[in-house]
Structure 1
Amino acid sequence: MPLSTLTGYIDIHVHAGPSIFPRSVTDMELAAEAQAAGMRGFVLKAHEECTVSRAQLLRAQFPGLEVFGSVVLNWYVGGLNPYAVDLALQRGAKIVWMPTGSAKQHIQYYGGSEYTAQKSTVRLLPQPPISILDQDGKPLPVLYEILDLIAAADAIAASGHLSPVETKVFVEVARARGVAKILVAHPDLGLNQMPVSLQLELTRQGAYVEKSYLTLMPGWQSITLEELVASIRLIGPERCVLQTDFGQANHPTPVAGYRQFLNMLLDAGVPEAWLFRMGAENPAALLGLPSPAG
């Protein structure tokens, strides 16, 4: 039987317009659809800008909907820029993402900051690849500075499009610097795909791992539904976070996609209590919200 409600659920990783990429919904359309579906909220992610101001405007228009902004450390905000991080956190950003389109791993995988599955609507200058590691494989000093800011704000440090090797170092350094909330971004997605054994290792160090609907979609698929479910069973629902990563113009809207994803997992044998843990309770804990009623 399909899920009857999305009450309490939060999509912690979602895209909307305006954007440099074609999007299926605007910010306002996403918020209206989420509220109508009974969702608790979402976190806006944009590869090109901090979304704190956009989230603030949505909260004013949609009282009761938990909408939060984030910042991605691509070149558009100065790369690994502690000034951008500090200001974003002071203004309420809940997630600081390591580089995505500017990441060394992303540029090597796609041959540039674009994606094969979607193209920017504006011209993008060639970007020097960003790594969190120096030529000797050591963390850059600025990474410590950024993680210290995240720790002080009790915000979420997310891995972005780092390589598996970088992500492992990222989690270790974040823990050492006192970051309590660490999120490994879509580790099943092709561009930064990592073995489940490494995902399990990182969760045992205290990180959460995203389980993303995008990894099952045509043009992006890098894992089967059976493999995704098996990884959830191995890791356990306590350290998995469901998200769509939707917003792409050729996909269902993020809210419709979230519902599809939940029902797909339910049909594949994932217990409803697990879905609520991964899609409602874990995101709430990461965002510092009261635990939802199941």
Structure 2
Amino acid sequence: MNDLKGAIDIHVHSSPSIFPRSVNDLELAEQAKQAGMRAIVLKAHEESTVSRAKLVSKVVEGIEVYGSLVLNEYVGGLNPYAVDMAIQQGAKLIWMPTGSAKHHLDHYGGKSDYKEQKSTIRLLPQKGITILSEDGELLPVVYDIIDLIKGTGAVLATGHLSPLETRKLVEVATKRGVEKVLVAHPDLKINKMDLSLQIELVKMGAYVEKSMLTLMPLWKSIEPDELVRGIRQIGIEKCILQTDFGQANHPVPTEGYNQFIQILLEQGMTEKEVEQMACFNPAELIGLT
């Protein structure tokens, strides 16, 4: 699989954005369409992308474009009203906090942006969102959010939570009947987790992302051979490729996806294995099968 025919990127960034981006929504969709991709899911740390995706779909035909919602402070944090509205409007993924997560803020010394990329606008100071109470249980509002997602076909994704928070969320969500749970880039240094925990979460029923961003110089947190060994231990059928691209200093997302595929093939993965993770698994996750 040397091209992107049928591939899906469930985690990709474009402008408008509070961070500098390599492409805008329309350029991203057009480039993905020209590359033969089947679908993309827009992600923004500061707002729902559902309405943006609907507008893009009217302009760029021949590719599925979907939106998502990240539960950062900019949409009210752990806000059931925002979740309910986004799902009813067609959001494919509901992400737990990223830049507003306490774990993220702790990682970056209290900053809600990144040392690898800076926001183009001022961001108010944040206390940091955790999904756990002082006794280590999920907050009641998280149960509300889980129950809103259950039965809708939308995906509950983990964001930049700590490994401990992630484990608790996945455990409760799967037990309460959420059909689709996604562990966000568990190899990325922000929320890096042991392979043993990734395997445990998959056994609970979750999918895990495998991200091109984790191989990029500024963000590097894993070597390609280690990434592939981990994929094989987790199981091809539960891993989903994504780029997490859109940063202004990187290739455009479609180029990044092609490079990612090439790296995996060079590391000994077969075209069939890559196709499973690039096409079939994400299609299953977001309900395109």
Of 52, 59, 62, which residue of structure 1 is paired with 2:60? 62
CA distance in 1, matches of 2:281, 2:148: 22
CA distance in 1, matches of 2:71, 2:199: 26
Amino acid at match of 1:230: R
1:194 is matched with: 193
How many residue pairs get matched?
288
Do residues 158 (structure 1) and 157 (structure 2) align?
Answer: yes
CA distance in 2, matches of 1:49, 1:96: 12
CA distance in 1, matches of 2:66, 2:172: 25
2:240 is matched with: 241
1:84 is matched with: 82
Runs of 4+ in 1 over 4 A off after TM superposition: none
The 5 A counterparts of 1:98-177 are: 98-111=96-109, 112-177=111-176
CA distance in 2, matches of 1:138, 1:241: 29
CA distance in 2, matches of 1:43, 1:219: 24
Amino acid at match of 1:135: E
List gaps (5 residues or longer) in structure 1.
Answer: none
Amino acid at match of 1:27: D
CA distance in 2, matches of 1:222, 1:208: 20
Amino acid at match of 2:63: L
CA RMSD in angstroms, aligned pairs only: 0.7
Contact 2:151 2:179 (8 Å CA) reproduced: no
Amino acid at match of 2:108: Y
Structure-2 change in CA distance of 1:230 and 1:4 (3 Å): closer
1:184 is matched with: 183
Contact 2:2 2:258 (8 Å CA) reproduced: no
Amino acid at match of 1:57: L
SS in 2 for 1:71: strand
Q: Offset of 1:4 from its aligned partner?
A: 4.0
SS in 1 for 2:54: helix
Q: Offset of 1:5 from its aligned partner?
A: 2.7
SS in 2 for 1:166: helix
Contact 2:189 2:221 (8 Å CA) reproduced: yes
TM-score (norm 1): 0.97
Q: Offset of 1:6 from its aligned partner?
A: 1.2
SS in 1 for 2:156: strand
Residues 50-70 of structure 1 show CA distances to partners (whole Å, capped at 9, x for unaligned) of 000110011111222111100
SS in 2 for 1:152: coil
CA distance in 1, matches of 2:3, 2:160: 32
Q: Offset of 1:7 from its aligned partner?
A: 1.2
CA distance in 2, matches of 1:65, 1:59: 8
Q: Offset of 1:240 from its aligned partner?
A: 0.2
- Aligned-residue sequence identity (percent) comes to 62
Do residues 36 (structure 1) and 34 (structure 2) align?
Answer: yes
2:21 is matched with: 23
List gaps (5 residues or longer) in structure 2.
Answer: none
CA distance in 1, matches of 2:243, 2:185: 10
CA distance in 1, matches of 2:102, 2:135: 15
